[in-house]
Amino acid sequence: MSFSLFRASVRKVATAGSLPRAQLRNQLRISIRKFSTPPPEAPAPKSNTTLYVGIGAVVAAAGAAFYSFSDSGTNAVKSGVQVAKVKTNFVPTKEDYQKVYNKVAGIFDDAGDYDGGPYHIYRPIVFLILTFSAWHSSGTYDKESKTGGSNYATMRFAPESQHGANAGLNVARDLMENIKQEFPWISYGDLWTLGGVAAIQEMNGPKVPWRPGRVDGVQAQATPDGRLPDASQGADHLRKIFGRMGFNDQEIVALSGGHAVGRCHSNRSGFDGPWTFSPTTMTNDFFKLLFDEKWVWKKWNGPKQLEDKGTKSLMMLPTDYVLVTDKIYKKYARAYADDEALFFKDFSAVCAKLFELGVPTEQWVTPEPWIMKNVDEK
């Protein structure tokens, strides 16, 4: 079964308005579960190609040339790619960025095996690492120093690329590099965040407003370690880390809902397991499971994490569990558990905000963000 057929079947089930909600969710889980890591048994009992080639030649000629512009004393660095766009008089349109989006959405056909699993089971996981790549490249923002964020794409450089929180994301960067070679005019920051938008939308998530304008920087602008959340910490840590970026309590909880997709790997983060039974589909199940399941501390040799008492196949991080133990976080988590549409609305807004952190207003190529089409809307 090709992933495009899998994705289409998921969307068909998820949009079947004639089904009762409970039945719809049931069918969606059945549709997804066989492509996800199954829980263990409970213990007994075509385009502007010629133009792109020309741009590639100009990029090569530009080499490592950079120039800067300033506004209120803030310098922004533009790479040879941006220089190339000026030299060729090429101004990408929304349609050009849509082609990049479509290429990201079709990346599974070229990705090959991932994570050592069967061919069609693990290709969907590529979407998940693209989401985390976009988030980790944006979540380094510091509102006081106005450093970090998705501008400059400094996760390309050591030591930032080697930070513990970025372990395993080289897989996403390597896959996206192939797309960068095909569309050399797009900046890494725009490519990574657009990849995150594609991943969210193609996993049946909400539309995430997005616009281009990020520029590529240099290694000297790489951010220090410690700016991303430490999953072993508690509520105060989340407020400190996300507050530094400019997020409030409600936005912290909404953004945490991204754990509806993906899983942890012990050989990367140290933690292990999926958060939900359908880790390749965006739902509000992360919040529902927080309240509906009995969570106990996992007995193992790894870092401190929780597991569901029933199947012992799901996990929650300490920073996840504080969403139901902290009084303020809990009211937002409960609201999202009860209302998926509300969660999707707030998650879309906070993702759009996250992906724009660190980008000066004057760099945006359009005053209002775009809504990119899903591949099945073409």
What does CATH list as the number for 79-363? 1.10.420.10
> Which two tokens mark 171?
């897989």
Q: Write the DSSP symbol of residue 181.
A: H
Mean per-residue pLDDT of the chain: 77
Separation between Cα atoms, residue 16 and residue 331, nearest integer Å: 30
Render pLDDT for 286-337 as a digit per residue (tens, 0 to 9): 999 999 999 999 999 999 999 999 999 999 999 999 999 999 999 999 999 9
Q: Angle at the Cα of 120 (from 298 to 125), degrees rounded to 5? A: 45
User: Does residue 132 contact residue 169 with C-beta atoms inside 8 Å?
Assistant: yes
Residue type, 230: D
Angle at 316 between CA 310 and CA 322, to 5 degrees: 120
**pLDDT-derived band at 167, boundaries 50, 70, 90:** low
The average pLDDT across 146-171 equals 77
**Its pTM surpasses 0.95:** no
Chain segment 211-233, per-residue pLDDT in tens: 999 999 888 898 888 888 899 99
Q: Catalytic one among 135, 185, 210, 275?
A: 275
Active-site annotation holder among 136, 163, 259, 295: 136
Residue 275 bears catalytic tag? yes
pLDDT computed for residue 264 by the predictor:
85
pLDDT of residue 10: 43
Q: Which two tokens stand for residue 172?
A: 């996403």
